[in-house]
Amino acid sequence: MFFSSWTSLWHIVLLATVVYVALVAALRMIGSRALAKMSAYDLVVTIALGSLIATIPLQRDVTVADGLTAIATFLVLQHAMSWLLERSRRSRPLVKGKPTLCVYEGRMLEEQMRELLVTDEEVRAAIRSHGLVSVRQCLAVVLENDGEWSVIPYADTPDRSALAGLKPPVETLRAGGDVTPPPAR
């Protein structure tokens, strides 16, 4: 069926407007955290919210109150999860995942890249996008838990505190690591 009635269309416009205003108000109350860079978990919640928002005006058997209750429930659960993640270090890797080293001290870490299903072409593209021309210029390349690449060139400082918690290759740990760039080939 192409067209039912003008009443049906106005009903959808009215319900969509009510849901839109309610969602904007809810996001405003929750704050910018809901709109920050998303992890995979945040993306799933966003997709679920989008599905709910589309369902409310289009499904006759879902009332506005039912839909807004479902949206509020998702937003409260999202806020509760953020609260838990902020207070419990153990919960973070379960929900957010962990950043992973793909290059360390100028060498690609094939095993860790294989676990992530990342190719060396993707790593090289990340390095180029950060203005470097060689893998050997990189102290570290990290695939962050939000899917972004961090490329850290060698620096004059021996401090590597930004890499805390990442898993360098075992042979580097045995050798004690080197803070100077390896010689160019």
Structural tokens at position 84: 């838990």
**Amino acid 105: pLDDT:** 93
CA distances, 146 to each of 65, 66, 149 (Å): 34, 32, 9
pLDDT at 145: 81
| Per-residue model confidence as pLDDT tens digits over 82-121 | 888 889 888 777 777 788 999 999 999 999 999 989 999 9
pLDDT at position 37: 59
Cβ partners under 8 Å of residue 108, min gap 6: 102, 120, 123, 135
Q: Tokens 């990290």 map to which residue?
A: 142
Nearest Cα residue to 135 out of 161, 112, 102, 113: 102
β 149-153/138-143 pair status: antiparallel
Mean pLDDT by 10 residues, the chain (185 residues): 80 85 73 58 78 85 86 84 84 78 94 92 96 95 89 88 83 43 44
pTM of the model: 0.59
What the block records as the tokens of 14 is 């009215």
List Cβ neighbours of 35 (8 Å cut-off, separation of 6 or more): 27
The pLDDT score that the predictor gives to residue 36 is 56
Q: State which amino acid sits at residue 103.
A: V
pLDDT at 143: 93
What is the C-alpha to C-alpha distance for residues 114 and 102, in angstroms, rounded to an integer? 9
**Measured between alpha carbons, how far is 178 from 98 in angstroms, rounded to an integer?**
24
